[in-house]
Structure 1
């Protein structure tokens, strides 16, 4: 994927993610560092645009079959060359579309979380990086529909998956999908706790 590839195809899904995640401490921290408060929403939409395109190119992406009310964005293990290309493109896109303050915040939070979460997961694990559902669609089973297709693939591949959440109220939802809490850490930049949850592959997947 060229780092400058147009990802506006996904804008309606990015808008759903923005509506779902705007209060999440990670994304709220990025938005507060947008260069212009008047256009901070557009700044975050560009972030989600790139993240969705990145998942389609390098990982796994689940979009609803019957609407644009949410998405799930996954990372999977890559060889070193593709992993480096993915990282360079992500950092270039954030710097270009969001500004240096957002890039610095992103790097700071991701570096801390990678160091803290790393010992609890495996290099083979698939990572649920982003999942969001417009609030008015929540409580209808649609959130699980955004996750289950990848879990079924992970079960067939006999690999574990994991996620990180700053929202303890969501943990029971993830537990119903088979995730178990394996650690809790205080992320310094947000000054908020986040939980690591991991799901072992199911033999009958």
Structure 2
């Protein structure tokens, strides 16, 4: 049985924020940004809200019909390069936790390794409710966009934040796109790239 997927709108904002918060509370990168458990419980939802707002405004959020999983996508044009003066990470830090330099640093480090020169679909985040993992929901969300990428000849890019997700992405055709991004005194993130396929196996 297929997974029903729809495009999220402004009315889904609280659902998406809650879903991402639950999915990433124990993620290694979230733990690096907010090392203290109580601090993370309090401020992590603000970071997920900032990301949700950015993608609702500039990209697309796909969500399963039952609200158990979501994927945040941005369409990146061919000529978009890394801008060292980009104020986005600083603005996110100001909105989320002004005293926490890591909120801004992780954004700048990720921007610095983001591929340029070719238009692509960027999977910013994918979140599955903790009690609904291993049901194929994340795969269904990603494959829906990869099918379109293949039809349109578009590559796709993402950063895996843990070994579990990296294995999933490899099964979907993503390959390493350069060395791992090692956060200072923290975990690694793995940039991954997927070339479009001329035909997908059935």
TM-score by length of 1: 0.75
Within 2, Cα distance between the matches of 1:117 and 1:54?
A: 17
- SS of the aligned residue for 2:177 comes to strand
2:59 maps to 59
Tell me the distance in 2 between the aligned counterparts of 1:198 and 1:79.
15
RMSD over equivalenced CA pairs, Å: 3.0
Structure 2 residue aligned with 1:46: 46
The answer on 1:31 being equivalent to 2:34 is yes
Aligned residues: 188
Report if aligned partners of 1:20, 1:134 keep a CA contact under 8 Å in 2: yes
2:187 matches 1:184 = no
- 2:156 is matched with which residue: 149, 156, 161? 161
Give the C-alpha shift of residue 180 in structure 1.
1.7
How far apart are residue 99 of structure 1 and its match?
2.1
Does the 8 Å contact 1:182/1:196 carry over to 2?
A: yes
Please, which of 123, 126, 129 is the counterpart of residue 131 of structure 1?
126
Higher helix share: 1
Aligned-partner Cα distance in 2 for 1:112–1:92: 15
Distance 1:204 1:148 in 2: 13
CA distance in 1, matches of 2:168, 2:155: 18
Structure 2 unaligned segments of length 5 or more: list them.
1-9
Deviations 1:1-60 (A, max 9, x none): xxxxxx784222222212211122222223337xxx756434222222232232122112
Q: Distance in 2 between matches of 1:56 and 1:161?
A: 19
Tell me the TM-score normalized by structure 2.
Answer: 0.76
CA contact (8 A) 2:120 2:154 kept: yes
